């Protein structure tokens, strides 16, 4: 794993910066910065203040305006801040100019996510995927690492070509490394395809959803196994597959990496092989954190990412988790203004989503095990339907004697 690409941010006080544009309202930017703060906290940094600015589009030189940058610098000097994190991906030119002005470590959203992925990767496969994504992120940003060097002079027959720069040399090394990592992943992919083929006549079910919505907790509850779960972003990076038996029906259940808004493109590409579990699944269980104020947008992010990965819609059960943490603001009976999303009760949401999903959704608490039997029943019905269509000869684990089944 390469440590030099993204330095560690542990125990550093951080400022978070976001832009209010025509595409992002002030309310949305506040929510996005809250998520960025959670990411920073997961990486070990300590977010202390948000800075926002209204601009039509990001400044191509410094992302924010010169005045805002001076304001950030002043605050940093007063509070001794050593890290600034921007909520969008920065170009090498922007990073170079901002670092020159602020004289501290600058991270963007992508590099922070990569940092967390590097921390979370456990298997050799996940580590290779993260390393590939890191090099792909680094490649267009090599320029800022060598701005202090002039063109190098060429040498003899075995030396670099005339006038080749250190930058060009490094670019070639990085490109070779990317090609090498892609070859390694192809080799592991072949082994994983064989493993998946050897799983026998079982329906495949994949847990999907935004990061930190409770997929691993749901996995533990359904499979009665101990999959690592904690209240951090990207706690799961390596796909876990378990054989689960509900009643008389065995099937395979996989827990996958969580999605997030603005997930870097090359990260999705690197993890396409891990997400083969999603691509090859017969049924998706889309877990949603109903207690999150912006859960509807999180559903959209997941659905959009799923289409990027697979391109085809699959049978899906929408599982609204964390009903134990759900809260809403009750509207005054004399208040005649239209209700907002904050005024919707759990019953209101249940009616809306039940109608929208044609009853293919359920409201649960994986933590408190609320409505778990109903969820198992729903999964059983869906899996059984797929199983009978795919394997018409009875391959169930054992026969239920209260069913009239023709021999």
pLDDT value at position 367?
A: 85
Is residue 380 within 8 Å of 249, Cβ to Cβ?
A: yes
Q: What is the mean pLDDT of residues 233-254?
A: 76
Confidence check: pLDDT of 155 > 50? no
pLDDT digits (tens, 9 = 90+) for 287-339: 999 998 889 889 998 888 888 777 678 899 999 999 998 887 777 776 777 76
Beta strands 240-246; 249-255: pairing state: antiparallel
Half-sphere exposure for 320 (CA within 13 Å, toward CB)? 24
* Per-residue b or e along 328-367, where b marks 16 or more CB atoms closer than 10 Å to that residue's CB: beebeeeeeeeeeeeebeeeebbeebeeeeeeebbbbbbe
pLDDT digits (tens, 9 = 90+) for 336-360: 777 677 777 888 888 888 878 777 8
* Residue 311 backbone class (left: φ over 0; alpha: ψ -120 to 50; beta: rest): left
Residue 278 binned pLDDT confidence (cut-offs 50, 70, 90): confident
Q: Where in the chain is the domain with CATH 3.40.50.300?
A: 200-390
Residue 228 binned pLDDT confidence (cut-offs 50, 70, 90): low
Note the CATH architecture for domain 13-117.
Answer: 3-Layer(aba) Sandwich (3.40)
Is residue 167 within 8 Å of 121, Cβ to Cβ?
A: no
Q: What is the mean pLDDT of residues 166-177?
A: 83
pTM metric for this prediction: 0.78
pLDDT value at position 270?
A: 62
Q: What is the DSSP letter of 157?
A: T
Neighbours of 369 (CB within 10 A): 11
Higher pLDDT, 89 or 277: 89
Q: What is the DSSP letter of 139?
A: G
pLDDT value at position 174?
A: 86
Q: Three-state SS for 262?
A: coil
Domain at 200-390, CATH homologous superfamily: P-loop containing nucleotide triphosphate hydrolases (3.40.50.300)
pLDDT value at position 395?
A: 59
Q: Where in the chain is the domain with CATH 3.40.50.11060?
A: 13-117
């Amino acid at each position: 794993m390469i440590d030099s690409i993204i330095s560690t941010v542990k125990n550093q006080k951080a400022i978070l910066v976001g832009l209010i544009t025509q595409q992002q309202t002030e309310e949305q930017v506040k929510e996005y910065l809250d998520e960025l703060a959670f990411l920073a906290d997961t990486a070990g940094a300590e977010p202390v203040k948000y800075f926002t600015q209204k601009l039509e589009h990001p400044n191509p030189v410094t992302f924010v305006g010169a005045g805002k940058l001076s304001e950030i610098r002043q605050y940093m000097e007063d509070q001794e801040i050593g890290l600034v994190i921007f909520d969008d991906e920065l170009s090498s030119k922007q990073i170079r100019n901002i670092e020159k002005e602020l004289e501290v470590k600058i991270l963007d959203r992508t590099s922070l996510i990569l940092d967390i992925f590097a921390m979370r990767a456990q298997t050799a496969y996940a580590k290779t995927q993260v390393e590939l994504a890191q090099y792909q992120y680094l490649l267009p940003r090599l320029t800022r690492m060598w701005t202090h060097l002039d063109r190098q002079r060429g040498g003899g027959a075995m030396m670099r070509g005339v006038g080749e720069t250190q930058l060009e040399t490094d670019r070639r090394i990085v490109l070779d490394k990317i090609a090498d990592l892609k070859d390694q992943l192809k080799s592991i992919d072949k082994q994983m395809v064989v493993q998946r083929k050897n799983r026998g006549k079982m329906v495949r079910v994949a847990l999907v959803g935004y990061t930190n919505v409770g997929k691993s907790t749901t996995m533990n509850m359904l499979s009665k196994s101990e999959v690592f779960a904690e209240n951090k972003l990207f706690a799961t990076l390596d796909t876990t597959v378990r054989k689960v038996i509900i009643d008389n029906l065995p099937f395979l259940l996989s827990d996958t990496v969580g999605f997030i808004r603005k997930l870097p493109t090359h990260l999705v590409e690197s993890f396409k092989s891990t997400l083969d579990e999603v691509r090859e699944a017969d049924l998706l269980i889309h877990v949603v954190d109903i207690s999150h104020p912006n859960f509807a947008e999180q559903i959209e992010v997941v659905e959009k990412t799923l289409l990027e990965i697979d391109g085809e819609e699959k049978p899906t059960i929408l599982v609204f988790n964390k009903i134990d943490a759900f809260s809403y603001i009750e509207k005054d009976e004399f208040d005649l203004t239209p209700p907002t999303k904050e005024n919707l009760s759990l019953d209101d949401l249940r009616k809306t989503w039940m109608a929208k999903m044609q009853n293919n959704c359920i409201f649960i608490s994986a933590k408190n095990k609320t409505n778990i039997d109903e969820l198992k029943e729903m999964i059983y019905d869906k899996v059984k339907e797929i199983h009978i269509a795919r394997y018409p000869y009875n391959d169930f684990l054992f026969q239920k004697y209260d069913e009239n089944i023709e021999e």
